[in-house]
Amino acid sequence: MFAACLIILEQIFLYVPLMLGAYLSFSLMKVPNLSIEVSFVSGAIMASKVLALTQNMGIVVSLLCACIASLIGGAFVGIVMGLLVTHAKLPHLLASILTIGLFYGVNLFMLGGANISLTPFENPLSVFALPAHPELITLGLISLVIFILCFLLCKTQLGVSFAIYGNNPSFFDFYNISRTYIMSLGLLITSMLSGLSGYLVAQSSSFVDINAGTGISLFCLTALILGKSLIPTKKNIAIFVPIGGLVIYCVIQQVLLKVGFNLKYFTMLQSIIVLVLLMIKYRRRTVQELTSDHLGV
Amino acid sequence: MTIHKILKKTLELKDLCFRFAKDKPFFFKDLSIVFDSKTINFVRGKNGAGKSTLFRLLQGNITQQEQVAGSIQISDTSYQLETHDHIDGVRLVHQKFDSMLADQFSFDDNMRFAGIARYPKLASLPDCAPLPDFLQRFGIDHTKPVKLLSGGQRQILAILMVLQKPTKVLLLDEPTAALDEQNTNMVMEFLAELVRTTDVIIIMICHDKELVLRYARDGYCELRVDQDTGLRSIEKIN
């Protein structure tokens, strides 16, 4: 039981940055930013390159550089996605699909193969010389820092602008506020957070895989919908909803594993969970609400 | 002893000539008109009479291929239209005012959103300017989502949001077109109070003749199209 709790905690800490990024993009901005699937891998690849370069610089420097590199790796994807939406004027979904295609090739080239191992490098997550669970403590601290930063961001003009974008994107045009700036930064932050999660997951499993990001959009949507459906929302603390959803998701996954469910069918189960929750929710919705909220989160 | 002298502010449009391109006929020619504060300046005209184009020119919103001459004087400041000068303090409330609101948020939230910087900062939301005292009489709930307010209340909010930035001239494009009689009266009562308590010059497009006659103290402006030349002219009707 204790071991299962530790696994759940680790899962939560690994995916907190990704969930917050997805919350910003999917829930606040209502943008179907599927490019998180490639920024997840880009962040991991960039961090793995930096890990190789910082092996002799000490574990703290190595950890900091790897985290920053993963943010930058994700940012590249966010910038390209942002340019496609704001300058090439492509719809969000099409821009996402093109970005995925583009960066699949870039990632493959950067990685030099389908996957690479991180075991030759010292594990920066064990930066704290603790007798038990040093990695978990580091992951927890990283997640906490990211959560606090996102919580503070949501209180600022920029954070609120993301929510206004999701409510009415044309709002900004009437008050001389740059919609392009808000859109670009939103996508950038989402991709950076996804990149960081990509690195944490890769470091935790000790290898970077080109297909590591496949299916994380559905994972994010499932967790967000679970959070929105099962956790009472108050406007001031809405940022706890994606975290709550993530906790529920990880608990469900572990419970299913304990009862002998084969996790290779879990993607199917995710879709069923999303479907059931949305069907219950949409029964009470008006046509207007349906058209304004494409993702149900 | 201080002597308070209430001066009317004016917007004076002088010798406006406008055409959409060099090879197109004149749309406006030598058009001159004065709009005052302390009254609602109504502009009427059939569809295609040039009301929206006039509003666009008053904002200094002119494209490269358009040919324009004349000047706009707002109180003591003069703007030459041919130099494509930026005209300060002219704000427009669109006919589809709902697109100017974040309707899932409250009245107070929306008021603060209107003050967000062009490039939103990592700072807290700006405080909104003090609301006029007479707003209380319209029974607006400041806490519930704006989509639950009446059409008239939402229109008032859109006007107040636009006024969050320094405003000399307020352009209203058919603000009552989508409203029922009760909400129309609410908006007109609000505008009448705004005219009385501020020196903003209010210019309003309105098709409802009965409404115009009821609220136009000093007459209204009618835009007309000459059927032969296609030239638009403006006439003050008292």
Question: ipTM of the assembly?
Answer: 0.85
DSSP B46-85: -TTSSHHHHHHHHTT---TT-EEEEEEEETTEEEEGGGTP
Residue with tokens 């949001």: B161
Q: Check A157 against B121: CB less than 8 A apart.
A: yes
Instruction: State whether B121 and A170 contact (CB < 8 Å).
Output: no
Query: What type of residue sits at position B165?
Result: K
Domain boundaries, chain B: 10-237
The rounded percent of chain A whose pLDDT value lies above 70 is: 94
Q: Which residue of A has its CA nearest to B117?
A: A177
Share of chain A above pLDDT 90, in %: 69
**CA-based nearest residue in chain B for residue A168:** B102
| Residue contacts between A and B (CB atoms, under 8 Å) | 64
| pLDDT score, position A134 | 87
Q: Is A171 on the interface with B (CB under 8 A)?
A: yes
pLDDT higher than 60, residue B159? yes
> What is the model's pTM?
0.88
pLDDT tens per residue across span A45-54: 999 999 999 9
Average pLDDT, chain B: 88
Least Cα distance to A24 among A188, A148, A200 occurs for: A188
Measured between CA atoms, how close is A277 to chain B, in angstroms?
A: 22
Pair A160, A28: CB distance under 8 Å: no
- pLDDT at residue A247, rounded to an integer: 95
Instruction: Please tell me the predicted confidence (pLDDT) of residue A286.
Output: 65
Encode pLDDT of B170-212 as tens digits: 999 999 988 899 999 999 999 999 998 888 999 999 988 888 8
Q: What is the CATH number of domain B10-237?
A: 3.40.50.300
Residue A142 or residue B231, greater confidence: A142
In this structure, what token pair is assigned to residue B172?
Answer: 């209203």
Check A177 against B94: CB less than 8 A apart. Answer: no
Please write the tens of the pLDDT for every residue from A215-248.
Answer: 999 999 999 999 988 887 776 678 899 999 999 9
Checking if the pLDDT of B2 tops 50, the result is no
Name the more confident of A94 and A279: A94
Q: Is B4's pLDDT higher than 50? A: no
Q: Is the pLDDT assigned to residue B3 strictly greater than 50?
A: no
pLDDT category of residue A290 using cuts at 50, 70 and 90: low
**DSSP per position, chain A:** -HHHHHHHHHHHHHHHHHHHHHIIIIIIS----TTHHHHHHHHHHHHHHHHHHTTTS-HHHHHHHHHHHHHHHHHHHHHHHHHHHHTS---HHHHHHHHHHHHHHHHHHHHTSSEEE-TTS--GGG-S--SS-HHHHHHHHHHHHHHHHHHHHTTBHHHHHHHHHHH-TTHHHHTT--HHHHHHHHHHHHHHHHHHHHHHHHHHHTEEETTTTTTHHHHHHHHHHHHHHHS---GGGTTHHHHHHHHHHHHHHHHHHHTT--GGGHHHHHHHHHHHHHHHHHTT--HHHHHH-SS--
Tell me what pLDDT residue A56 has.
86
Predicted local confidence at residue A64, as pLDDT: 95
CA A33 to chain centre: 10
Mean pLDDT confidence for B111-128: 91
pLDDT at A204: 94
Tell me the torsion sign for CA atoms B114, B118, B119, B123. Answer: negative
Q: How far apart are CA A184 and CA A80, in angstroms?
A: 9
Mutate which: B93, B99, B103, B119, vs A, most A CBs within 10 A: B119
- Mean pLDDT, residues B138-144: 89
- Are B173 and B94 in contact by the 8 Å Cβ rule? The answer is yes
Q: How far is the C-alpha of B56 from the C-alpha of B68, rounded, in Å?
A: 12
Length of chain A: 297
Residue B167: partners with Cβ closer than 8 Å, 6 or more residues away: B89, B90, B91, B200
pLDDT at B33 > cutoff 80: yes
Whether the CB of A157 is below 8 Å from some CB of chain B: the reply is yes
Specify the pLDDT at position A236. 64
Cα distance from A29 to chain B (closest Cα, Å)? 13
Q: What is the pLDDT of residue A14?
A: 96
Return the domain boundaries, chain A: 9-215
